[in-house]
Amino acid sequence: MEVWGLTGGIASGKSQAARIFAEAGVPVVDADKISRELSTPGGAAYDAILKRFGTADRAELRSRIFQDALAKRDLEAILHPLIQAESMRQIQSIAENWPGPAPGLRVLYEAALLVETGRYRNFSGLIVIEAERELRKKRLIARDRMDEITAERIIAAQTSDEERRRAASVVIENNGTLDDLRARVIHFIIERGWATA
């Protein structure tokens, strides 16, 4: 079994790429989905987040952590160990339930901060989805209904495209349409022999 990381800057299209991989039969573990589940009422991180921040509202937390490094560190200290444990549990479950030969199994771990945390080194490879900064800003404004200054601040707070590129085993460009991205992802899957698409 190989576990590959899948990352990219905010609004680069990494979640769209993950869906395309999943549709082609490549199992995907989604760190952001796990984070959301942990942060909702009844989730393992909910009480600790509420105690530290007084709220578990994702938009409010995002606003705080991009303005306050200590708040960011505290939120990551609460969430990251829990996300990592649940991710490993899901990967193990996929491996145990995989119907084919284990050596042929490829699992993608989709997460935003693989390069920032250095966790990309723990994977068999790293796929980076990359889109031009201005396009990402436009997507972020449209998707999350935020103002341009906030979008720019969020993008600027992340690791640079150059750093992600240096860490990448493969870079998949996403400056076009969803069909363009699908074609690039399917090409990668076929080229690597990961699945028939």
Domain boundaries, the chain: 1-27+104-197, 34-97
Q: What is the DSSP letter of 42?
A: T
Q: What is the pLDDT of residue 195?
A: 67
* pLDDT tens sequence across 96-155: 998 877 677 899 999 998 999 899 999 999 999 999 999 999 999 999 888 999 899 889
d(CA 170, CA 173): 10
Residues 6+ apart with CB under 8 A from 70: none
Whether the Cβ atoms of residue 86 and residue 60 lie closer than 8 Å to each other: no
Going by pLDDT thresholds of 50, 70 and 90, the confidence category of residue 75 is: very high
The CATH architecture to which 1-27+104-197 belongs is 3-Layer(aba) Sandwich (3.40)
- φ/ψ region of 25 (left if φ > 0, alpha if ψ in -120 to 50, else beta) reads left
Q: Does 12 have pLDDT greater than 90? A: yes
Q: What is the DSSP letter of 7?
A: E
pTM of the full structure: 0.89
The pLDDT value recorded for residue 196 is 45
Calculate the CA 92 to chain-centre distance.
Answer: 19
